[in-house]
Structure 1
């Protein structure tokens, strides 16, 4: 009896390949460590078959078929143990048909049944089908494993990302707790600072109002001088007329016509004294209304009267500071403007601010350009097609560049030197018109040529 070493070599090689493929494909050391240990002894059946070959002299192809059948049974058992793993179920589906075919074929060969010879073509076709079936589903299992591996890697990345996010969240919570304590303290400090800021804001607004009151007071002092001079002059003349009338009455022969004429002159003087006294009283009343805190109530207001009066008061206020300054004043007041619901004190402040700025602009230009330049400030009113009241204040002063025009209504922005302006006048005027009267305040200007402010209030 001769020992055939090729059988042992083929058996050992087959078991090595099967074990290697199974361990790698199914990750047996991690999924089925018990099976992984058993597969290390898969060479024992092969060696046993080799010994049987030596003792009983089987045909070599029979031993190969027996061992291959054994190998496929092992694969089936491993796949069944991993039936919850989708690629394992696919491998099971792949090898079962071929294993069944191999078992039937081996049984026919061992039993020397002639059925295999009679249906040799059918068996060959069946073998080919089972081989193709096995290869196809093994490829499918391989693709499934790759897909599952990608999903596993993706899950691992997601889990790592979750852990990283959890770590970051923990760190952020710690930082937030620290910052919360800090911010709580800062909030208390800011609250106190805000209270102080509001107090300062109120003081600044009051300072701006007092500044405008100062401008108004200077104009009033100059403007009220005229009616007071008239009152004084007509009082003196009236006193002379009374003296002359008394002398005429003491004469033996009285001149009735002269007495009548003196009485008429005296009455006219008293009327003029009353007129100019009322004019002085209205100026004082305007000053008091300007200095009084606004009630915030809209009342019928004569915009034409306000515009005309504050134009002259602003002009005389500047002349009270600079006796050499002169300017041309133009008024184009729409006679049928009527009264408008407005807060007269606030609109007066707006007009006074615009007029004061206009006279300041023409005065500065006059200092720079002396030849042929006539300082001019104008005010005009009209009714728009929409029924709104529009007031335009224009001067031919220094004008302003675009960069300045874009900032002109910002709080504390001023083009005046330090000490000559608070930077709140136009800002407060803008708030009065837009927020207090639901109107608009716009400006058009060309540097070196003119500036024109337009107030529009709903009628």
Structure 2
């Protein structure tokens, strides 16, 4: 049994089996190593392919972005060109309206001056020229001289109106050229209210209106150009008094004209409200109220420069705002906001 189990033949067979088992193990390990190598190769190839695909996608996206950027730049350039053209057209339209307004406003007094000058020349010829009648009485000549004097007064009046129009235009060009001073806005508003009220009473005897004031007691001092802001206040108060006077002339039995003014501190500045219970204005008038030479007053009573000048003083000269709210037949309120 021992020879059978541990004989030389059996030992060689066991060694052969062991050798083949080791050989098989090495082959399996080599096969697994080769398989792992292939997997790594495939992974690297897949990574390279993915990188190439990503690079292509990024390149395509970059080209799309570049095309989109170019299209956006073209659109922006076209929009800017269109905006410049629109602004230029608006400027030309405004210049046309301004020129037409200037021509219209100056043409009226100049026509009056021309006509009265021609009539006056004829009157002078009646007295001293070839058409003088020696048999004419002294009283008739006195009447002619009185008419001549009246014509000269009319020439002077319309010449002053033309001067006031030109003065208003020059004030437009000088807006914001004054020196700023720290002032008490309540006092300036009160002085402007009284000055405008007394000025209208001097022209219109018997005009009376209720003056309602509400000034904030703790209003801080503000740095403004006093002459410009005072002119704005007087203009707004004068318009308010004219509005209540126009309504007073309408057949209303229980109407009592009133102009109210209030001041208060707001975020970043000071607010002034001027309200009247006058005739008010329509939406069409309100849309054009700040345009130069636009006026609802009769010919010869206003140049249409007051509110335009006031708007420029507040907005351009002081960086504030001037707005208006109005209801036809009920009244108007102007709101002036000045930055602190």
TM-score for both structures, normalised by structure 2: 0.50
Q: Which has the higher contact order (CA 8 A, sep 6+)?
A: 2
If each structure's helix is expressed as a fraction of its own residues, which one has the higher value?
A: 1
